[in-house]
Amino acid sequence: MTGISIVNKNLRQRFCSLIIMCLMGIHAGVAAEQFKIAIYDDFAPFHYVNQEGKPEGALVDLWTQWALLYGHEIEFVIVKPKDVNRLLKRGKISFIAGEPHSVSLDEDREQGDALFPVYYSIYLHKDLIGINKLNQLSPLQIGITTSTLNSELVQSLPERQSIRQFPTRSTLHHAALQRDILAFLEMDLRQTDPLWLKLTRNFPISKRLAVQADYISFSVKKGDFTRQKWLNNQLRAIPKELQKQIESKWFTKGQEGKSLILAVSKDNLPYMTSASDGEAIGLFVDIWKAWSRVTGIPVSFIPFLEEDAVNAIKDERADIHIAIHEEVVEGIGLKPTEHTYSLFYRLFINQESGIHTAQELANRRIGVIKTSPFLPEIRQTIPDVQLVYYTSYIHMIESTIAGEITGFIGPTNLTEYLLFQGHLQQRFRVMESPKYETRLFAVVDPKNEKLAAEIKSGFERLSIRELSTIERRWIPNPKHRYFSEENIKFHLTQSELDWLEAHPKIRLGVMSNWPPYEYFNAKGDFDGITLEFSKLLESKLEAEFEILTYDSWQALLQAMEQKEVDMIFNTSPSRTEPFLSFTQPYWEAPDAMLTKAEGSTYSRLENLSGEKVAVVRNFAVEEYLRHQFPEIELYQVESLKEGIKAVDKEIVVGFIENLEALAFLIRKHQYVGFDLSIPEDMETKQNAIAVRRDWPEFRSIVDKLLSSIPEDDIRQIYKRWKQVRIEQGYSIERVLEVGLQAGGVIVVIFWIILYWNRRLHREISLRREVEEKMKHIATHDDLTGLPNRVLLRDRLEQAVGIHARGKQTLALCFIDLDGFKFVNDTYGHDVGDELLIEVAERIKTTIRKSDTVARFGGDEFVLLLANVGYRREVEQIVSKVLETVKEPYQLSTCESIIGASIGIAMFPEDGRDATELLKVADTLMYKVKASGKNCYRFND
């Protein structure tokens, strides 16, 4: 037992303490008493001993302030939990600084009032799949500290649960880091301790399972009610602001010291839930990821049950609940900040009823959730129905199938997902009208006005188009989307109209030679993607765009700075020039790397460490590489041609520039001997329009214009410029003209025609070679050489059409590698790439010539099995894939064994288009992972 004293000897401190005590109504004449306060050495963040051997923690701060306020002398005594009762009885310690309520009850001590709330959870390793409930823990050994062994916390675990004891929390944490245990019982704390942060990377907060709520309180010896009451009274009188400062210091930082914690309600697909690996997924999750990107505020998602999610905000375990129904918000004491989405409810009718319209529902029984906010609206739109009240949508589905009700009213997309899970889509008809709406809001603690303002500001910066793109990934039916085209409208305020009237001409600055974006074509006319977009915008405004050309990006930027130019297209919003302001992104602009064909290949930017790479001076990619990959030596060039020349002369190993621009030049000039690739860790840029910072009205106008352009129009522009035309050098008329001027007409014509034919034949061959290479790059995975998801979708759509006409069956198999992440994280990306290449080669040997194997992304592959006569044929192929994949791999630095989980969708039973088949196969693959991995599953 060791002690560390804090004694008040300063007269000024004593005097101030007496004044405070008098102001608080406490008798100042009580003699100061010395207290020995027991603390543990590893009960962070409440009390522990730091690396310098000094006591630290929230309760150390609280009791120190208590001593200063009341003029007490205190000494912190470091003790072992097992010695506490003995030391209390002998008077060696006065009381315990704080411990969980459940522990003090078990140890037969008197406890004080709650000081801090605390919640206990089972933390699961990130590699554990499919464990979502406490009763699924039985095969695992749960690590706990000895101090909690006999507490009621352990009683909350399943019966006969295997337990492994650890003497201290630090030994428990180290065992978890070493993978000696894959699950442990711990408090849900938002700590900044480096060991804890390292631990939560392998045991993410999104995978924890809630066990029990508790609170921390001080403890005194059994029967010492006088001291218990006296301490409670003194602690209650401590200013609330002081307690808040302590809480802010120790408990209000995010998972990585800065992240916001977002509460996600489970089991609400396609909107939000937790996947089998514990990660939060869904439409709302993706929307908030986009919010995080535009605000620059990192976020972490924690899945909760609905009631727990609300309590998590109140208890400050989370900062934001991402979506709560409008009618619920008023009764929970939280602040609604932003209307983020609306759910639409529709009638789901039993197909066997023969009912097609709402008018036919008179006197029929229709199910509805009793708390639905639109009950009055239902009675108005279908007044003659008999409403039957329920508490769950699953119960209403079951009652409809049983014939107890004709149908029910449910949230369209959530209900469709539930029907899909139960293979019940064919049993129900969805009526498009009537339709009922309920709004969803993000909510925060009412006191957090700053966060509420940040949420609002972030959503104002998200365009409807971007939100629509996210929604399209999760909601396949356009009629059931909230961010539909009807919401994308162009309306200017009166002040914006006045501004346009005062500025009838807008100066658009462009590059003179940056094809296919901005350049002069063979006829001498300005051409390119920028021109098409500018015409689209100009057509909607009563303003004229004056095009001003510049020979270099540096000259264009200087013109913008000097206000000689008002706007620039195709600019990265990550630029930091103070004279620029940016609109929403409108065009995805990936960068690529040009290298010599016979040179080294670089699948990742991180592999370029120490190498020299060319970039165009002051382009956005230069700043990105300097910040993200400072070990790469950058070689500045002024133009694309100069960059290609630097690669050709081997001044640099590669040239990084916009993919479309490089591809255009390669096609146009028929460069050969080069490879074009996109490194896996290359950031995909989103182009925006830069406008003068002193013209905020114009930026707002352009943002509205961009939002008003239909998605189809943008796709058409992309399609036109993806297949660029190749312009030949000189025409034969020009060659003849030169020949006639030189004399010797007949001879010249003969030799020129002969020369021209040979040159033309060579140019055609070279062009075909370049076209084939570019086509392969666009449709194949750079690492494995397999078809990529673009080519897969094309082949799948063709196959669906062919098999539909021939009434044949095809199988789509979605493969995810089991154990690849461990190899990649442990041995590095290079070894991970080796493994992926070998897996691809093995899979190719197991399939027929008529089949397709594609790399879908990461460690995911897809098999397209054409014209399969029966299910047994598919089983034979996928069984062979499983056997082949799990054979040991001899890699450069290790031997590895992995497995595969395969989900199988059959056409036409499981879907009639490419999107639906991919979705079914992907869902089945996750079910395989949840049920044990290394096998396959059909949609039975």
Q: Where is 479: in which H helix or E strand? A: none
Give the pairing of strands 518-520 and 513-514. antiparallel
Omega before 888 cis (within 30°)? no
For residue 423, give Cα distances in angstroms to 377, 388, 418, 910. Answer: 31, 25, 9, 9
Catalytic residue from among 286, 675, 818, 859: 859
Q: Where is 317: in which H helix or E strand? A: none
Give the pairing of strands 260-265 and 299-304. parallel
For residue 586, give Cα distances in angstroms to 296, 530, 590, 690, 793. Answer: 19, 12, 13, 12, 24
DSSP state of 161: -
**Structural contact between residues 166 and 142, judged by C-beta atoms closer than 8 angstroms:** no
Q: Which two tokens mark 325? A: 């129904």
Residues facing residue 869 across a β-bridge: none
Burial of 903 (0-12, 13-18, 19+ CB in 10 A): buried
In the chain, the amino acid numbered 794 is D
Residue environment code for 384-404, b if the CB has 16+ CB neighbours within 10 A, otherwise e: ebebbebeebeebbebbeeee
**Structural contact between residues 637 and 612, judged by C-beta atoms closer than 8 angstroms:** no
Q: Which two tokens mark 273? A: 């839930």
Distance CA 180, CA 175 (A): 5
In the chain, the amino acid numbered 628 is Q
Distance CA 817, CA 832 (A): 12
Dump the DSSP string for 821-867.
Answer: HHHHHHH-HHHHHHHHHHHHHHHHHHS-TT-EEEEEETTEEEEEE-S
Distance CA 392, CA 142 (A): 34
Distance CA 484, CA 482 (A): 6
Distance CA 41, CA 168 (A): 9
Q: Where is 481: in which H helix or E strand? A: none
Q: Where is 274: in which H helix or E strand? A: strand 273-274
Distance CA 249, CA 252 (A): 7
Backbone φ and ψ of 338, nearest 5°:
-155, 135
Q: 763: closest CA among 730, 806, 791? A: 730
Longest dimension (CA), the chain: 125
Q: 906: closest CA among 884, 924, 932, 929? A: 924
Q: Which two tokens mark 529? A: 């993607």
**Structural contact between residues 613 and 721, judged by C-beta atoms closer than 8 angstroms:** no
Distance CA 909, CA 922 (A): 16
Q: Which two tokens mark 567? A: 């706007």
Distance CA 816, CA 832 (A): 14
> Is 859 noted as a catalytic residue in this protein?
yes
**Structural contact between residues 247 and 145, judged by C-beta atoms closer than 8 angstroms:** no
Q: Which two tokens mark 186? A: 């711990």
Please calculate the CA angle 846-847-850 and round it to the nearest 5 degrees.
160
Distance CA 299, CA 273 (A): 16
Q: In 3-state terms, the chain is what percent helix, strand and coil (to 5)?
A: 40, 25, 30
Distance CA 62, CA 218 (A): 11
Residues forming the active site: 859
